[in-house]
Structure 1
């Protein structure tokens, strides 16, 4: 077991070196590593080289590896027995538009007061440079206090997360042997609330399909052809309406066949989180949950699959009115999947359902837009148990297990390519305004995030 006195010594290094940690963070935040804009390719390279240099200075074997896009920084700590963790984060950032809504220069980081808290304001402060540096600075503190890390650590830091990340999966496949580890760690998520740390262990998968219904060979006058001609808008509306039952459930045959119920223990923990369904919906101007009526909102978001209509196009949509029967109508439809569901199976069920409903004189075209399985970390996993304990020790409050309604592709890649479970541990808050003007990261998130990783690394060594 890691000596408590050793942990205290490392934490003391974190506290005494906070100003220097902030200087390093501010240096990284000043680098304009916008991955979506080719004009900033050199800045992305500069960020990668700077990070690799910092890691080499800490005793890692680090380098910025080329890809067809921006570099991937890979670093390996010394070989040693016990747990080997692979840490992931990304150094690229979103564009800053609209610039006129920023209160300060987005690449000139500032510490300001907000609601009695000190916050770091800059593009990338939360997503993901601040989060990434919490881990690196924790490694620095371990090295400064003890001369070594308590476990073997490798890092893989991406430069294209904000622009699709298309080069990371092939990079991982090409370097799978080198990237082998026991557990993956990701710092790109939120805490449950400002004083409750959390580990996200459930991520929904995704299937997205675009359907296009075609009837006549041209748009038709609705007075001359109305009633006689098939209307693709009507056909599409009937298909879409058929996807959900009145109770909010999805109607595709076999949709729920592979969906398991969450454990009573996890359901009880979620019930104890104090999540306010009405307040959650109220922030969006809504009041009535629309999904499966027998489920709580948290279950709907984290543990149940869904079907959503993301876009519909058909006929005249400009100003004024045009009495036309369109030749084509299309919709973009996505399914969020939970553990056990197979993307290919759901896509096939959806397409079979649509084809069955297409009437004579109409045809349908399908265009896929990606598919990935859900990710679930075993609730009784030893790495999870130890990490939860480390977080609880730092925040003096039990860390909680949460799910996410979204999808984080890299977690799926860790599982499918490297066979690794992923612990998603982050210290961001929902009001960090990531991707928006005036992005911020609480100073406490940065400071106690470093301290938290110190404890988690120590716990993983026990």
Structure 2
């Protein structure tokens, strides 16, 4: 029996106990955005430290201005062994609306969906407690069989990912020397489908901005002032409508600086991946592509920037009707970035555009909501190649190298602050209901995810 096969056998044998540990972590109500759950967040951090201590890690809870970090170190087999930093987060999203949950979100259960498919239900099972534990459980199996790990390992578990990670960058700045490794491993992504693992090679960046337009010094009666007084809702609506032209392109000056066309061979490869994923629209009741005309689904999601309106508020929105001209109106806008787009230049361009449309007797205020650049990993990276082989050996279908339309700012921080390439491998599925009621994580995702990390660590050690 090879060194790896013995570890894989141990993972299989220990699955029932491993599930109990997952249940124990999910039961902790670590909702980071609600101060009422601060003690629960600390409890989750302490739970993880105890588990890491049991595996021979030098682990501790590290206080921050917000919720604590968990840091652990394992020396591995030798000082010259490859060194990885594994990142995950133990905090979860709020559970609202609670009435839509079929079960208590913090009382995890193993459910049989039929056709041989079993899932673990509960808040955080997929995002990110189940994903985080796939790596911890792989380390557990290696320790049980061989007494050590195949590589040197540092873990960083965060408690504020679901609330914007305000403490993360300061923590990385203050502890850069301790946390730096050969490369980072991030398990907060997903599979291509239930049989096909995926490695994420690109992430879009993000700029978030809130725009608040103020006109009169109080709400006005629309019969007395309508037609004469400036209406901030109308002003803001016109501004937002002008963010895109008739072809779906963003109109902000310099917005496409640093955006390159995707090579034709890459676009052709994307189109062979189950029809380019056009079924994603059908799943949500839509049938026509929006955004830039002439682009495919995957190109729009992975390789093109966006400017989206995420929320609008102003005036009376309660029951019945109120004929009022609001004093204020606001909108939340997010830009997803690709290539070498500069987040701060995009923010400045957006603000300049908005200010140019504000009447002289009105005013505008801006509130920042984060900024991070896009990430693109080299398709020929040795790290990616090793992981792709390891994953393909575990799953029914070969691993794919994909992009993600979302943003994971920590990956940019690892690259910029710690100089580390990141490997993004996750085992979530599109129907996991992440951030929604009835969140779940497939048992196969959990079980084979553990086995996958064991294979990846073995391949990195080689």
TM over 0.5: yes
Q: Structure 1's 17 and 261: CA in aligned 2 closer, same or farther, altered over 3 A? A: same
**Aligned-pair CA distance for 1:292:** 0.7
1:458 pairs with 2:458: yes
1:181 pairs with 2:181: yes
Structure 1 distance, partners of 2:28, 2:317, is 43
Aligned to 2:269: 269
**Aligned-pair CA distance for 1:190:** 1.3
Aligned to 1:88: 87
Structure 2 distance, partners of 1:187, 1:81, is 25
Aligned to 1:33: 30
Structure 1 distance, partners of 2:364, 2:67, is 39
Contact persistence 2:111–2:120 (CA under 8 A): yes
Between 404-413 and 175-184, the greater mean CA deviation after superposition: 404-413
Structure 1 distance, partners of 2:44, 2:331, is 40
**Aligned-pair CA distance for 1:377:** 1.6
Aligned to 2:110: 111
1:380 pairs with 2:380: yes
Between 351-360 and 242-251, the greater mean CA deviation after superposition: 351-360
Residues 137-170 of structure 1 show CA distances to partners (whole Å, capped at 9, x for unaligned) of 1112222233322221110112222333222221
Structure 1 distance, partners of 2:3, 2:227, is 81
1:154 pairs with 2:143: no
**Aligned-pair CA distance for 1:42:** 3.5
Unpaired runs of at least 5, structure 2: none
Aligned to 1:328: 328
Among residues 45, 48, 53, which one is paired with 2:45 in the alignment? 48
Aligned to 1:138: 138
**Superposition RMSD in Å:** 2.3
Structure 1 distance, partners of 2:325, 2:74, is 65
Aligned to 2:64: 67
Contact persistence 2:270–2:276 (CA under 8 A): no
Q: Structure 1's 34 and 219: CA in aligned 2 closer, same or farther, altered over 3 A? A: closer
Structure 1 distance, partners of 2:328, 2:106, is 46
Q: Structure 1's 346 and 394: CA in aligned 2 closer, same or farther, altered over 3 A? A: same
Q: Structure 1's 322 and 396: CA in aligned 2 closer, same or farther, altered over 3 A? A: closer
Aligned to 1:249: 249
1:309 pairs with 2:306: no
Between 420-429 and 230-239, the greater mean CA deviation after superposition: 230-239
Q: Structure 1's 197 and 234: CA in aligned 2 closer, same or farther, altered over 3 A? A: same
Residues 411-434 of structure 1 show CA distances to partners (whole Å, capped at 9, x for unaligned) of 222223222222221111122223
Length, aligned pairs only: 459
Structure 2 distance, partners of 1:42, 1:233, is 41
Contact persistence 1:80–1:151 (CA under 8 A): no
**Aligned-pair CA distance for 1:396:** 4.0
The 5-angstrom pairing of residues 292-441 of structure 1 reads 292-441=292-441
Contact persistence 2:276–2:296 (CA under 8 A): no
Contact persistence 1:205–1:373 (CA under 8 A): yes
Structure 1 distance, partners of 2:101, 2:402, is 32
**Aligned-pair CA distance for 1:100:** 4.5
**Aligned-pair CA distance for 1:448:** 0.5
Structure 2 distance, partners of 1:253, 1:165, is 30
Q: Structure 1's 71 and 368: CA in aligned 2 closer, same or farther, altered over 3 A? A: closer
1:19 pairs with 2:16: yes
Determine helix, strand or coil for the equivalent of 1:349. helix
Q: Structure 1's 258 and 319: CA in aligned 2 closer, same or farther, altered over 3 A? A: same
**Aligned-pair CA distance for 1:378:** 1.8
Determine helix, strand or coil for the equivalent of 2:2. helix
Q: Structure 1's 194 and 361: CA in aligned 2 closer, same or farther, altered over 3 A? A: same
Residues 242-287 of structure 1 show CA distances to partners (whole Å, capped at 9, x for unaligned) of 2111111111121112112233343233212114655322333322
Structure 2 distance, partners of 1:198, 1:114, is 24
Between 270-279 and 424-433, the greater mean CA deviation after superposition: 270-279
Unpaired runs of at least 5, structure 1: none
